[in-house]
Amino acid sequence: MPTEILPAIDPERPLLILRGVSHGYREGDRRRPVLQGVDGDIGEGRFVALLGQSGSGKSTLLNLIAGLDTADSGSIMVRGLELNRLREPERTLFRRRHIGFVYQFFNLLPTLSVLENVALPAELNGLSADASRRRAAMLLEEVGLADRLDSFPDSLSGGEQQRVALARALVHDPALILADEPTGNLDSATGRHVLALLDQSVRMRGKTLLVATHSREVAERADAVWELRDGRLMS
Ligand SMILES: Nc1ncnc2c1ncn2[C@@H]1O[C@H](COP(=O)(O)OP(=O)(O)OP(=O)(O)O)[C@@H](O)[C@H]1O
């Protein structure tokens, strides 16, 4: 698929602007609303924690920002690029190029080695196999896994798998990192380590981070806290 079809993002424009974002899911013959007019802005290099009760719509919002789904109405702009105007193949390219995603259950590919898992997003963005592997190895060293490059994900602990997932989210130098309960499946000490690495990606690499979480500890580290209540953001 040619990468040229993705409209350019403008580095001068605000990183993320949400205006009146609404979304619901079909339930029988009606649509049950989940998000009902979400407004919010995130500037470059900020760490925002997204809180809200179970079922309040945190994952729904992250999926919309990642371009995995299209909002029913409203506007989601990433550096001037209006996601709701993109067609499916463009949204795939947008996500591949500009988003790093960290999931609660890691989502590593079991048949690829640790190094291959991390190198893949860089290769998908057109970097050569050699350069992708070099960059992947460097990031894996930074998260303390230099000696596990040839291991397979199922031989790693949860915390190690999440560190691989974090390296994978950074390898293609995305504009925005989205993390959905990244510490939710880890014990508290391991969760703290992963949180410190996420925080480092903001403080040292200037990355922008939006983390859906139930953890007060994550919220305390963040620059700002968004809380989803009744389909809207309270800040
Ligand atoms: N694909 C889907 N089809 C139908 N309903 C869905 C779908 N995805 C989510 N929902 C519903 O939308 C609501 C919001 O779900 P979502 O996963 O976004 O909440 P959440 O805040 O991330 O919850 P949690 O903290 O439990 O992960 C829930 O009621 C959920 O059942």
Radius of gyration of the chain (CA): 17
58: Cβ below 6 Å to ligand 1?
yes
Domains of the chain: 12-234 (3.40.50.300)
User: What is the pTM (predicted TM-score) of this model?
Assistant: 0.92
Atom of ligand 1 nearest to the CA of 60: 18
pLDDT tens-place string over residues 102-149: 999 899 999 999 999 999 999 999 999 999 999 999 999 999 999 999
Average pLDDT on 184-211 reads 90
Complex ipTM value:
0.97
Q: Give me the helix-helix angle, 114-124 and 158-170, nearest 10°.
A: 20
Joined tokens for residue 101: 């995603």
105: Cβ below 6 Å to ligand 1?
no
32: Cβ below 6 Å to ligand 1?
no
Atom of ligand 1 nearest to the CA of 181: 27
Which residue CA neighbors atom 18 of ligand 1 most closely?
57
